Amino acid sequence: MEGFKALGLSYKNAPIEIREKVAFSEQEAVQFLLNLKDMFDIEEALLISTCNRTELYYTSGQRQQEEIIQLISSFKSIPSDKLSGFTETYDSASASKHLFRVALGLESQVLGDIQISNQVKRAYQQSADLNLAGPHLHRLMHTIFYANKRVVQETSLQDGTASVASVAVDLIGGFIRNIEQPRVALVGLGEIGQNVLENLSSDEATITLVNRTKSKADKLAIEKNIKVSDFNSLDQVIADNDVIISAITCTDPIISADNLGQGSIHKLLIDLSVPRSMNTDLENVPGVSLYNVDQLTERTLKAREVREKAIPNAERIVEEEFINFSKWKSEMEVSPTIQKLKNALDQIRREELARHKKLSNEEMELLEVVTKSMIQKVIKLPVLQLKAACKRGEADTLVGVLNDLFNLEAAEVEKK
């Protein structure tokens, strides 16, 4: 784990004005990872970019945090000094453990947010597709997925309506309660938009979907028996609906006070996009209630109380699975020594058998079986002792002893 590192920023230390500047779309993430792979000696890399955080996890033998921050700054056209004060870094075991906590929702703005697990899975798939997931990352991610399964089954960390999407729907329910024939428009049908849609009830309001790719909206509309409007008709959609939820990917706001037109306005606007898709000038329009992703956390207090009680059990699971991962990692680090020892002993075995050329084929086959069995028994205890030393943190000492006793490094060079 010595070469595993992480850097990034989150809602804990960076305001939305900074986070939205370093948010990566899926296409941007692919290009950035390819640039990272080309420019640095990076063996593994995982980029997580959500509305609450942008974090890069990578495996490298060198400390390259400053250079990578420079690359992010260049890629996103942001002065590096604007990022450096908000960036946190993690090394070795702390980087792996931080990824555990992020993926399980322990570091989420909405504690136990179920969306983060899917977002991490997609980031991992992206890394695998780009050949940026090696043995360490593969094992780490699968251990994290198993830990998440345990958290779901053994704790209440993800109970209650506390995701950004469910909180938004709760807010909508309170707003439309006293509106006759309420109308709700959902702009953007990415993961967050679809999560909102899954929680919206067409029995309570008329729902209209708006998406840049209209075919995607059409398909979902047929499944849900709801309306679809063209993206080009966004102004009319805003005028016609009481609630507008925007979960669209964009670089600049697409909805502002100018889109509302004239006259009396009573609307709820919910901006789930990062970067934000709704201009802050909407806050000054009488009758308009505007919420962004940071403000929605005020609606999570009850669910958070339940989830906070589950934190000790969730952290216990993290610790148990992290220890299991660390044991595997330690054994992986000594596995080359084990293989060298096996090769060295087998070389001795084969050299001795080669001295007995007068033996018949039947006798040679019998000796082959017997000597291989002897080697297996001879090596069993050193291997067990080496694995036990890994658990005690004393593997380096025993590896050194075995190298000296059997001259393993020289034997390996001679073999090659």
Mean pLDDT per 10-residue interval, the chain, length 416 residues: 85 90 92 93 91 92 86 91 87 93 91 87 95 92 96 88 77 89 92 85 86 90 86 92 92 90 80 92 91 76 80 95 85 70 80 82 86 84 73 66 66 51
* Cα Rg of the chain (Å, integer): 29
Contacts of 10 (CB under 8 A, 6+ apart): 19, 52, 53, 54, 55, 88, 107
> What pairing do the DSSP bridges indicate for beta strands 53-59 and 4-10?
antiparallel
How far apart CA 156 and CA 304 sit, in angstroms, is 10
Nearest to 307 by CA among 128, 127, 106, 60: 106
pLDDT at position 333: 65
Query: In what helix (H) or strand (E) does residue 193 lie, and over which residues does it extend?
Result: helix 191-199
Helix (H, G, I), strand (E, B) or coil at 345: helix
Q: Using the structure block, give the residue that is written with the tokens 């006259």.
A: 263
pLDDT at position 414: 53
pLDDT at position 413: 45
Which tokens belong to 291? 């919420």
How far apart CA 227 and CA 314 sit, in angstroms, is 41
pLDDT at position 45: 96
pLDDT at position 368: 85
Distances in whole angstroms, Cα of residue 3 to Cα of each of 21, 90, 221, 328, 332: 28, 11, 48, 16, 14
Distances in whole angstroms, Cα of residue 166 to Cα of each of 49, 53, 77, 122, 259: 20, 19, 34, 21, 27
Question: Which residues are identified as catalytic?
Answer: 51
pLDDT at position 352: 83
How far apart CA 260 and CA 267 sit, in angstroms, is 10
Number of alpha helices (DSSP H) and beta strands (DSSP E) in the chain: 15, 10
Is the pTM for the entire model greater than 0.75?
no
Are the beta carbons of 194 and 165 closer than 8 angstroms?
no
> What pairing do the DSSP bridges indicate for beta strands 243-246 and 183-187?
parallel
End-to-end CA distance of the chain: 28
How far apart CA 245 and CA 196 sit, in angstroms, is 9
Adjacency order of strands within the sheet including 53-59: 44-49, 53-59, 4-10, 88-91
CA dihedral in degrees (239, 241, 246, 248; nearest 10)?
-70
